[in-house]
Structure 1
Amino acid sequence: MARKSAANPMASCIAEGESGYVMTLPASMQGETATQIADAILSARTNALIVDATAVERIDTPCIQVLMSAARLWREDGMSLTWTGRSTIFEENLDTLGLSAADLEVGDANHA
């Protein structure tokens, strides 16, 4: 069962799946939601995590920083963090910061 906090509106974005946790990112990920997104992601720590960013229409740098930090934590924990999809906006924002989707992947077939 997913570890959710009723006080965190982002908690509904994450759920326990068959092989770990699945998180569907919301359309708008503005800076003020970064802490809530971090809390939701951390509720899945020490488990495999699959993230879907296909709905993302707006994402600010603080939220990308949260996702980068999550990738680092998952790497340190030896767990996989993979992506099922990324919107064009999401990809463009990563590119603007000099990042790629590979920077956010951990433990899939292409990344150690």
Structure 2
Amino acid sequence: MSEPHAPAVVSLPPILDLQAAEPLRAELMALRGRPLSLDASQVTRLGGLCLQVLMSARKIWAEDGHSLTVDQPSSGFSEQLAAFGEPDLQFGS
């Protein structure tokens, strides 16, 4: 399936904690309806609430028929996904 728009790119902040959850949710929802690429290269800490925001976005994008990818995940991002029991969490179409 070809998508009509180039993916929007969101650079995730280094600290994805409780305070980052609502701004992240708002930023992602503002981009709903088009492909989205998340740059996770700078993430050093991933909290549970932000993980829930990302998992919810993954589901919404899939239901809408658009891709949502995580590009360049930092080692901190990947390690914390594993710590949450989601080492193979896949984002994509």
**TM-score, normalised via structure 1 length:** 0.74
Aligned length: 89
The residue matched to 1:42 in structure 2 has which SS? helix
> Any stretches of 5+ residues in structure 2 without a counterpart?
none
1:38 alignment partner AA: R
- Residue 77 (str. 1) matches residue 64 (str. 2): yes
Offset, 1:33: 1.5
C-alpha distance in 2, partners of 1:52/1:19?
15
> Any stretches of 5+ residues in structure 1 without a counterpart?
1-17, 108-112
Sequence identity of aligned pairs in percent? 33
Distance change (3 Å), C-alpha of 1:104 and 1:35: farther
Distance change (3 Å), C-alpha of 1:38 and 1:104: farther
Greater relative contact order structure (CA < 8 Å, 6+ sep): 2
**Structure that is richer in strand per residue:** 1
**RMSD of equivalent CA atoms:** 1.3
